[in-house]
Structure 1
Amino acid sequence: MIWVAATLIAALAQTARNAAQSGLTARIGTIGATSVRFIFGLPFAALALLCLSAFADLPPIALRALAFTALGAVAQIAATAFMLLTMRGQSFGIATALMKTEPVTLAIIGAVVLAEPLGPARMTAIAMATLGVVLSSGARWSRAGLRPVLTGLVAGALFGLSAVGFRGALLSLPPGGYVVHALTILVLTLALQSAAMLVWLIMVDRAALRGIVAEWRVSLSAGALGAFASLFWFIGFALTPAANVRTLALVEVVFAQIVSGRVFRERTSKRQLAGMALIVAGVGLLLAVATT
């Protein structure tokens, strides 16, 4: 059950990264702020891998592992672009709910691409937790336009595809320790993404690139937290199907609702309570299936 602890750590670290990164968007734009997680995360991941290489042999990267890593890296960048497009054309609640459909598409893609088991109990658990997120989002679906809904669903599917790519890359490595495997694929992923984003910024948005350099202190903290969170996501992917990891991560929604109620005194509706109950029930069923 190491993957459970790794997933919870990753979710908490990602929340901290988002907090550190949120202020950058207003100052350097969405593309610049998004690039920070890759460009400033790479040095920390590379340094960690260098230190680990003194105690463990690094796995060789075959063409299959490289192809899966590239698939995950490109799909994640594309998913982020569609996510930003959805948030621009729709309310935050609707956009968030659409992003969280990822576990459903992830389970289906994983079954097709990686031949991972997709039994009725596991799919029921994923569907319950995902429906719970939709209900707890508080989104007013009557106001949702068709185009933002479609881009949101595409973003969720692409995030799922990226997780399948990372899972496939990890499975393509020869037998070895899951930590060194996760860190190796993470460094390769961040290197590919950083190169792609730097080319884009140099050619299209040099103002954002200058902003990233000017905000290097905040960017460093966001990059460090991002690399830390990604490492634990990858550890989870190395130990269990990616759909299990991303479904368990939906409990983050429950934590956010609890914090908003206790700290910010925000009222929780009956529909949101029902959604949180579905998330907990779905995650509980998933854990029961995963441990049998």
Structure 2
Amino acid sequence: MTWILFTLFAAFMQSWRNAFQSHLSGNVKTAGVTLARFLWASPIAALYLATLYFIEPIPSPNFSSLFITYIVGAATMQIVATALMVRLFKFNNYAVGAGLAKSEALVAALLGMLFFGTQLTLLGWIGVFVGGVGVFLLSTQGSFRQISLPTVILGISCGSAFALTSLWVREASIALGLPFPYGAAWVLLLVISLQTLILVSYLVVTDVNTLKALFARPKIVFLTSFTSCLGSIGWFSAMSLQAVPYVKTLGQVEIFFTMLISIMWLKQKVRIKDGFGLILVALAAILVMWG
């Protein structure tokens, strides 16, 4: 049951990372807030991997072309997913934005059905319907008749990008063929390092002022990177042990951490309808997995 502990830890850390990113998004552009997730994470990931090898050395891994493909795909898609998440913060309040991205679990289940032979029962399809109702509730602005289509599209796109990231991360860990948790640690270090290189290069060429804005806020940026890296250690480790849909289903407890942080730290109000929608999204993922 090690994967359960890693998943719960990851969900808790990700809730704080999202909160820090939401706070940062009020002063920094989307690309900068996305970079804040990775900027100081590489040294932490490298230290984690070095500690594992110090405790118990193992042979060096063999990076196959398939493994590299998974790494590049996961790194790129997670950048896209994080950028979409930051955009969600601007469409609605923090808790609702994070809740919309929780379509990730449902999308992962559907992709598993389409490409990995997973079959959905009637209970599973009911879960998909419940998830749609949850997204509908979250996307309405004060009235059920005022549906925000851009928010729905953005939320589902964000969840889909995160789902692809998770599926490719698991495939990369398996392709490496190392014992737990070394494979997950290597995948984490390589994915984060590539993401940092891509985003820093992009901002150096297109928007140096955003980089300056990040370095002008060292505390919040470090907290974002720190909680992000710890959360990723949890996610990557759990997904190397268990199938992605199961991990993401249990990870829905993040929604409740998110609501508590939103109310207690960010001082935001969550409407009853929004809270009900968040619960439906979590319930939908559970129904899909049970189905």
SS of structure 2 residue aligned to 1:38: coil
User: Where do residues 109-128 of structure 1 align in structure 2 (5 Å cutoff)?
Assistant: 109-113=111-115, 115=116, 117-120=118-121, 123-124=124-125, 127=128
Q: What does the per-residue CA deviation read over 1:112-132, in whole Å, with 9 as the maximum and x for residues that have no partner? A: 44x263442783585377357
1:8 Cα offset (Å) = 0.9
Q: Which residue of 2 aligns with 1:195?
A: 197
Distance 1:79 1:282, change over 3 A: closer
Unaligned runs of 5+ in 1: none
Q: CA RMSD in A?
A: 3.3
User: What are the equivalent positions in structure 2 for 1:12-23 lying under 5 Å apart?
Assistant: 12-23=12-23
Change (3 A) 1:186 1:256: closer
Of 235, 238, 245 in structure 2, the residue corresponding to residue 236 of structure 1 is 238
Assess if the C-alpha contact under 8 Å between 1:10 and 1:228 holds in 2.
Answer: yes
Q: For residues 3-152 of structure 1, what are the structure 2 equivalents within 5 Å?
A: 3-54=3-54, 55-57=56-58, 58-88=60-90, 90-92=91-93, 95-113=97-115, 115=116, 117-120=118-121, 123-124=124-125, 127=128, 130=131, 133-134=134-135, 137=138, 139-140=140-141, 142-152=145-155
Q: Which segment drifts farther, 146-155 or 118-127?
A: 118-127
Give me the TM-score of the superposition, normalised by structure 2. 0.82
Which residue is equivalent to 1:156?
A: 159
How far off is 1:81 after superposition?
2.7
Native 8 Å contact 1:69 1:165 kept in 2: yes
> Identity over aligned residues, as a percent?
24
Structure-1-length-normalised TM-score: 0.82
Unaligned runs of at least 5 residues, structure 2? none
- 8 Å contact 1:132–1:276 — kept in the other structure? no
Q: Distance in 2 between matches of 1:281 and 1:83?
A: 20
For 1:172, what is the secondary structure of its paired residue? helix
Report the more deviating stretch, 73-82 or 225-234.
Answer: 73-82
How many pairs were matched up? 285
Q: Matches of 2:75 and 2:202 in 1, distance apart?
A: 15
Q: Aligned partner of 1:40: which letter?
A: W
